[in-house]
Structure 1
Amino acid sequence: MKTRENIHGWIALDKPEGLGSTQALAKVKRLFNAAKAGHGGTLDPLASGLLPIALGEATKTVSWAMEGRKTYRVLVRWGEARTTDDREGEISALSDERPSHGSIDTLLSRFEGEILQMPPRFSAIKVKGERAYDLARAGEAVDLAPRLVVIEKIELLGLPDPDHAEFSVTCGKGTYIRSLARDLAEALGTVGHVARLRRTQVGPFTENDMISLEKLEELRHKAPGDNAMEGVLRPIETVLDGIPALAVKDAEAQRLRQGQSVLLRGASAPIAQDAVLVMWGRRPLGICSIEKGSLKPKRLFNL
């Protein structure tokens, strides 16, 4: 069996429709022959687009990727409600009502900001230890509580035909676009579901950063060595742009690496911080906290 490589960094994968996030992760891990991998936010099989994948020590920063804002392009189908709130479910209700461009535009601001949202019955949320989608598939009642989510912006991009409308949605962690489509349709006096969904941003990663599985396969076959593959990796610290950075000297770096805290001296010493990115020269050393004037290691990178 081929020995796995200790390769570190982020890939902004352009996940195709029909492939689950776990399957996509396994394919990227295989292509890089990586010892360790994780992803920064699940994307449903129906959806395509940006799936950030962490390799090696970048897996220690996955939680920061998942906290980042996300942007989607979503095509909503009016007049059909579905059990899953997307096109994969069975039709559960029909309506002849089709909203106009003007009525949609007038309503959108109601769904921006902090809103309460009821997750779809077919979701990965756990109910008494079971996944909601498993209970729903078994025909059991799924009792979910509404959640507070943040939707920064919804923009109507166009109406391709009377049955469909396309939107751009920028939102925070935990937002269900399927729920948004369902609730938007209801507010417009009809029913609806997600017909197509594409994610174009997760935190610092954008559509311009994405690379397809086909392109990764091509790189692997063209250059069996690691250089070509490593060339498409983004640095570990890419997802840590939102936290302060602090440079340390050699002696301080050695103390931190041994699990010891470092006293920050001088009037300009940073105030208390839950998380700071510590840099040792050009290398990210890890994530530390600042408590009572001392730098304390939280999650160090083994590079």
Structure 2
Amino acid sequence: MGFFRFPNSIAVVVVFGMMNLFNFGFGARKLASLYEAPPMAIRYHNGALLQGYVPVSILWYGNFTAPQKAIVLDFFLSLGSRPKEADGVAPAVSRWWNTVQVYMKRAGKKDAKVILAKQITDDKYSIGKFLQKPQISKLSQRAGTKYGGVTLVLTAEDVAVEGFCMSSCGFHDWNHRSKSAFIWVGNSVSQCPGQCAWPFHQPIYGPQTPPLQPPNADVGIDGMIINIATLLAGTATNPFGNGYFLGSPAAPLEVATACPGVYGKGAYPGYPGDLLQDDITGGSYNAAGVGTRKYLLPALYDPVTSRCSTLV
């Protein structure tokens, strides 16, 4: 199980791409120094990984607009898309996912090919607007995802989830009976954007650098994309708690959480790194998706270089 927590020591951090953890873990560092994750070994514990075709079902809990859904759906479509990367064009989202494939190959597994499966919308708030963590698991079971697939439970901005903002921006786990993985991410825009939507909102703690413009003009959804991407990488490589991780299985450091707050080269506490900027919207991004879509994605820990790998 992976959680996004807010501890005081990076040694026990399980982060999902959020700057709040980055601030807590590295608040004492000088801002002039660049952040480099220390060489470490994210070890494979010989468990199952999500290899081959990985169907992802989405349960939208609460009110999401059509444009908001399109941002998320386009991200998943972008994982398998390979647009030409000409000079001056951002790296493709699929190149970011290639680091996950490196982990698969090292374990002797097939590439993880994410495909969109079904979508379920619960905009009637069938179990209320305050959810306990066990209820997230029950919601994920509505999609009927089988072994080898993932259910993504997304909660709207007016839905409070146990631990949300206080200790968590999202988590991934699995249903032990069906042996199917699931991810939960909440829209934090009206609850804790300074914790769960950085760098698109002023951080609550740490260096107070100006927030960046979100690439899709939606602070909450663009923040969710960062968390979804982080959790998806962690789920693929550690779906059942015995895949790739460092540290305790109860609080694992995974392929994306090993690089908290890092999005581009030169990142340091309070600064996400050197990013690309859209000339028209001013949105900051590091990856190109399908069509004209742009995203900001977290760095992944590269097992080849033993460093955080950024797209730009």
TM-score of the aligned structures, taking structure 1 as reference length? 0.23
Name whichever structure is richer in strand by fraction.
1
Q: Which has the higher contact order (CA 8 A, sep 6+)?
A: 2
When you count helix as a share of all residues, which structure comes out higher?
1
Larger Rg: 1
